[in-house]
Amino acid sequence: MNSSLPAVTGVDGPSSVDAFRATKQLVDSAVPAVADIAVVEVSDSTLCEHTALSEACDGIGFRRAAFRGVRNPGCAYRIGEACRIPSGTPYRRSLRDMRPRIVSPIPAHARWLAHDPVRAAVMRKNDVHSLMVVPLTANHVVLGLVAFYRRRGSSPFRQADLRAAARLAQQAAQVLDAIRRELQEQGMGRRFQHALLPQPPHLTAIEEVNGHVPENGPPGGWFDVIRLPSARVGLVAGFCSGSGITAAAAMSQQKAQIRAFAVQDIDPGEVLNRSFELPTHEPDAQGPPSAAGHCVYAVYDPVTRRCTAAHTGLAR
């Protein structure tokens, strides 16, 4: 078999679709060039914001992300399905020591097969006699695992095959690590966002104030409730474009500017004009510029039962 493998290209944006696309490129390149069957399991840290932010690596689960084989071999788990990686198996050992390994030949009654009956059944059905296990790692973080198999009629894996598979796996791992980092940034920005959202004050002008920010929405969305003179109340909803902490920080700045002008009890349109005239980033300041955004500000007067509103950054 040919050990010369094409590169795995990058993908844009943090999502499970991107993780599945990257790993599919890996197995498509590996079969039949280097193996009869190739399987990828990815860590949930590449699929979920909450898990990406978790530091409890030992408790993170894995899912089947990609599979390819010659002659319809069948598979132990469906794509997207959570999968077990039992202790005492070559798969779990590679996850723990982050080292690739060859298992060849595979004795029919190897003890580790009894620990993993789901995979063992598929291996026996396909007359698998040689196995390579390569962990997907980046910056000392385990992102997944690739297993390569050869069936009866193919030669056993050799060290040259292991080196070629490790190079291919490393390219895929870099893509998965970029996805994980973007998920972390989005998750941190969302936590920052929810920490900055207000608890509505007790007001007599309105019976109830409910604010909602979508759980999976971008971290730049926000709202505020402002107590004004004469029992009036200011209601604000805004959005800052961008992602992660940059959007959340811009949200905090935009919110503070609008509140500062709103309490001066001036017209809503003037509040927004003054707020959005202020520079959001000093020319000589360090770091990226703040994200652009838009906002709606309304003032409700319970005496006249009138609501005056203004908006900026929105299509009319």
pLDDT tens for each residue of 199-222: 555 555 565 545 555 555 555 677
CATH 3.30.450.40 in the chain is located at 14-188
Which CATH architecture is the domain 197-312 placed in? 4-Layer Sandwich (3.60)
Q: What is the pLDDT of residues 256-267, one digit of tens each?
A: 888 888 888 889
Residue scoring higher pLDDT (179 or 46)? 179
Residue scoring higher pLDDT (142 or 210)? 142
Q: Which residue has the tokens 């723990």?
A: 96
Q: What pLDDT sits at residue 7?
A: 45
Q: What angle do CA 42, 69, 21 make, to 5 degrees?
A: 40
CATH 3.60.40.10 in the chain is located at 197-312
User: Among the CATH numbers 3.20.20.80, 3.90.1150.180, 3.40.640.10, 3.30.450.40, which is that of 14-188?
Assistant: 3.30.450.40
